[in-house]
Amino acid sequence: MYGVIFDFLRSYVIERHGGRATWDALLAEAGIGYKVYFPVAQYPDEEMVTLANTAARMLNVPVTAVLEDFGHFVGPSLVTYYEMFVKPEWKTFDVLENASSKIHDAIHRHNPKRNPPKLIATRTGEHQMVVTYQSDRKLCFVAKGIIFGLSQKYGEDIQVRETQCMHSGAERCRFEVVRRE
Ligand code: HEM
């Protein structure tokens, strides 16, 4: 996974969980030690899983909660960091619709080892959408958090219900997303 995500994890820990000392403690506890993540370098996916599991242990909360909360934090940060791929008039549903074909694909275009998540967002009504997520990384909790984070950024009241999950043997995760007036 790209270092930019690790760097956002660092910001998340520092801003939400007690500052630089907590980040250093997390790296140490995870057995990684001092490390700087460079945004465009690639790091093993397992390292992200180790960090999330270690954070969950240290906070005494389920790892799914850590991943979702991180997604919530990272959604708006991704839009800001990659603003060249996001039109200013877009809102949550537009970002979701364009996440796979325009955004992830563009980010990975020059990466021979690319393996971005497959996201398909289909509008099922004026205020409803179905989003499917498929990735070997099975980070659907992050995806769910990203949807919430985006809705907060765009000032929308959005409900997300996961109706099938790769963690329960489904081929892909499926979310029903409803925007309330
Ligand atoms: C402006 C919008 C977005 C940007 C700029 C963005 C960018 C990125 C980047 C750079 C990565 C790291 C990929 C890698 O290292 O291979 C990533 C991963 C990921 N993205 Fe996005 N993303 C966006 C929107 C979304 C949305 C809307 C979702 C889900 C609803 C999503 C779900 C994920 C997940 C779950 C991962 C972790 C990798 C995986 O599961 O395979 N992203 N994204």
Q: Whose CA is nearest to atom 25 of ligand 1?
A: 99
Please state the atom number of ligand 1 nearest to the C-alpha of residue 86.
1
Pocket of ligand 1 (CB under 6 A): 1-2, 4-5, 78-79, 82, 85-86, 95-96, 99, 103-104, 107, 116-117, 119, 131, 135, 137, 139, 142-143, 146-147
How many domains does the chain contain in total? 2
pLDDT of residue 106: 87
Please state the atom number of ligand 1 nearest to the C-alpha of residue 135.
41
Task: Write the pLDDT tens digit of every residue in 88-115.
Answer: 999 999 999 999 888 998 888 887 777 8
Are 110 and 151 in the same domain? yes
Tell me what the pLDDT averaged over the chain comes to.
95
Domain boundary residue, one of 14, 43, 61: 61
Q: What is the pTM of this model?
A: 0.95
Are 75 and 49 in the same domain? no
Distance 100 CA to ligand 1 centre (A): 8
Are 85 and 146 in the same domain? yes
Please state the atom number of ligand 1 nearest to the C-alpha of residue 144.
30
70 pLDDT above the threshold of 80: yes
Domain that holds residue 35: 3-61
Are 141 and 84 in the same domain? yes
Q: Among 31-40, 77-86, 101-110, which stretch is predicted with the lowest mean pLDDT?
A: 101-110
Are 103 and 52 in the same domain? no
pLDDT of residue 113: 74
Average pLDDT over every residue of 71-76: 98
The C-alpha atoms of residue 58 and residue 35 are separated, in whole angstroms, by 19
Residues in the chain: 181
pLDDT of residue 153: 97
The C-alpha atoms of residue 132 and residue 102 are separated, in whole angstroms, by 16
pLDDT of residue 181: 83
Are 76 and 157 in the same domain? yes
Domain boundary residue, one of 38, 61, 84: 61
116 pLDDT above the threshold of 90: no
Question: What is 84-138 written as a DSSP string?
Answer: GGS-TT--HHHHHHHIIIIIIHHHHTT-TT----EEEEEEEETTEEEEEEE-TT-
Are 135 and 153 in the same domain? yes
pLDDT of residue 65: 97
pLDDT of residue 96: 97
8 pLDDT above the threshold of 90: yes
pLDDT of residue 114: 74
Are 76 and 26 in the same domain? no
Look up the CATH number of the domain holding residue 88: 3.90.1520.10
Domain boundary residue, one of 14, 44, 61: 61
Are 56 and 107 in the same domain? no
Q: What percentage of the chain reaches a pLDDT higher than 90?
A: 90
Average pLDDT over every residue of 121-144: 97
Are 100 and 33 in the same domain? no
Q: Whose CA is nearest to atom 39 of ligand 1?
A: 117
